[in-house]
Amino acid sequence: MIRAGFNRSKDGYIRSFTLTGHAEFAEHGKDLVCAGASAVVFGSVNAVAALTGVEPDIELADEKGGYFSCRIPGNLEKEASAQIQLLLEGLVVSLQTIEADYGEYIQVISHDE
Catalytic site includes residue 28: no
Strands (E), the chain: 2-8, 14-20, 57-60, 67-71, 106-112
Catalytic site includes residue 34: yes
Q: Describe the crossing of helices 32-52 and 78-102 by its angle, rounded to 10 degrees.
A: 170
Question: Which residues are tagged catalytic?
Answer: 22, 34
